[in-house]
Chain A
Amino acid sequence: MTKHRSGTQEEWQAERNELLAQEKELTRRSDELARKRRELPWVPVEQDYLFETDGGTKTLADLFDGHSQLLVYHFMFGPDWSAGCPVCSSIADTLNPQVAHLKAKDTTLLLASRAPIGQLLAFKERMGWGIDWVSSAGSDFNRDIGFLNTEEELKPFLEGDIPVTVEQNARMCGTDAGGYVTEGPGLSVYARSDGVVYRTYVTSARGLEPAMAYYGLLDRTPRGRDEQGSEPMWIRRHDEYDS
């Protein structure tokens, strides 16, 4: 026996059909959102950002690598950290295999962080990722889109009760809570047309949830995410889980 309500095939099917109608409505709205995202005005990027890459110093236009669209995942890895953020690492696990398919759709996907390029490449090797990773250490790239917070901005947060997950993640990165939340995670998206680069879309926080592919999968399992009251967060770097 199970504590969960069990039923016959017919009962399940009847409730499933009802749910399906709602899932279809959600899909319709999701298509609508994608259309609205594309209606946002494009903003020309006027700053000359420079990035350190494993192929030398590059401009934002160079990062498109010949394609017309660029997706940048802003991976939390501060300049003085000992390792990248564990949650961003789990996101990179799920982004990594998408690079080849996106390339075929005229889209370059890469990671950017503020740590020096040498540190990023060493961590990338440890994690076994093939995805390109660039260092934005030398420019205001992160700050300009809101993915780098100043001490003053963070003061109210740091003076309050700091969530244990933040403390834990900070420890895992060899920094403290303040250092950890200095870096913001996010996705920024660019188009290139006639030699001009435009910023088209930026998202962070809850907007990044779809990047955590495992959450989408957990959402279809019988128990779901099952995170109520389970702090600190369960996510580890893929080579750091117990057992």
Chain B
Amino acid sequence: MPEHKIGTREEWQAARDELAKLEAEQADRNKTIKEKRRALPWVPVEKEYQFDTEDGKKTLAELFDGRSQLLAYNIMFGPDYTNGACPGCTSLGDGLDGSLVHLNHRDVTLLCFSRAPIERLTAYKERMGWEFPYVSTYNTEFPFDFELALTEEQARQIPEIKEMVENPPAWLIEWSRQIGAELKDGLREGPTWIAFARENGTVYHTYTVRAPDPFVAPYFNFLLDRTPKPQPDEPRTFRKDEYPD
């Protein structure tokens, strides 16, 4: 017998109906928040940025690829990472291609940014079999202007980062090995979603969300939230081609 409570179908249904009310309330709350998100003011982006892409240099406006909205995930893959991107960000990236064609048909360009040079992003994208555009912010002020990365100086001044660098837990030591960079460099990249709108030739910054918001987590977490057994509180993640078994 499992240690879990066993019930009849009727008992389950009664408990499920109660839970359904809470789930519906949560869906309503989410709806309200979505409306507030859309009501945020748009901030014009006044600086010119030049990004390295798989198709040469592009401005921020050009990254929209003719669409009016741009949604981008900043994968932790800094210039100092010698073994590839953060495995957690990588598993989030694995979930994006399924939505790509559907979003593109809703006037949204979906892509990922990272700060490592474009050649390394392109090689990593090929290894992972990804289709979404992968854009390098290498040598631009963009990641610092939009808080997608910290300068060495900034990183040194954040007590939480200082603590993680000086007294890393086991999983973080392992993470450092997985990315092939020291923590003082590895932790300078911010796992972040960022959104922009383009209208009448002007680009506007509209939204940013970063960890620990659950949106900045692999998509499969929504499924694991619905499985019978809790997952161990273990932040270790693996790239899909590097699982130990």
Contact = CB atoms under 8 A, between A and B. Distances in A.
Given A42-B4, A206-B27, A94 B219 contact: yes
A5 B1 contact: no
Nearest to A1: B200
B42 interface: yes
A11 B204 CA distance: 14
Contact of A198 (B2, B103, B107, B206): B2
Contacts of B209: 23, 220
B214 A4 contact: no
Contact of B229 (A69, A95, A217, A235): A69
Interface stretch (B6-14, B150-158, B163-171): B6-14
B228 A42 contact: yes
Interface stretch (B94-102, B118-126, B136-144): B94-102
The interface residues of chain B, by DSSP majority, are classed as mixed
Interface string B217-232: 0111011111111110
A34 B23 CA distance: 10
A191 B229 contact: yes
Contacts of B226: 34, 37, 71, 187, 189, 201, 203
Chain B interface size, as a band, is 35 or more
Contact of A100 (B39, B41, B240): B240
B207 A94 contact: no
B36 A22 contact: yes
Given A41-B6, A42-B228, A223 B69 contact: yes
Contacts, number: 252
Contact of B227 (A6, A41, A69): A69
Given A43-B12, A94-B98, A220-B215, A105 B38 contact: no
A57 interface: no
B37 to A, nearest CB: 6
Interface residues of A, number: 86
A69 B204 contact: no
A207 interface: yes
B21 to A, nearest CB: 11
Interface in B149-193: 193
A196 B101 CA distance: 41
A33 interface: yes
B105 A236 contact: yes
Interface in A56-115: 68-69, 71, 90, 93-98, 100-102, 104-107, 109
5 contacts: A38-B228, A101-B240, A198-B2, A219-B34, A222-B42
Closest 10 pairs between A and B when the two form their complex, measured CB to CB:
A41-B7, A7-B41, A94-B98, A193-B2, A222-B197, A93-B98, A214-B99, A200-B228, A191-B228, A34-B225
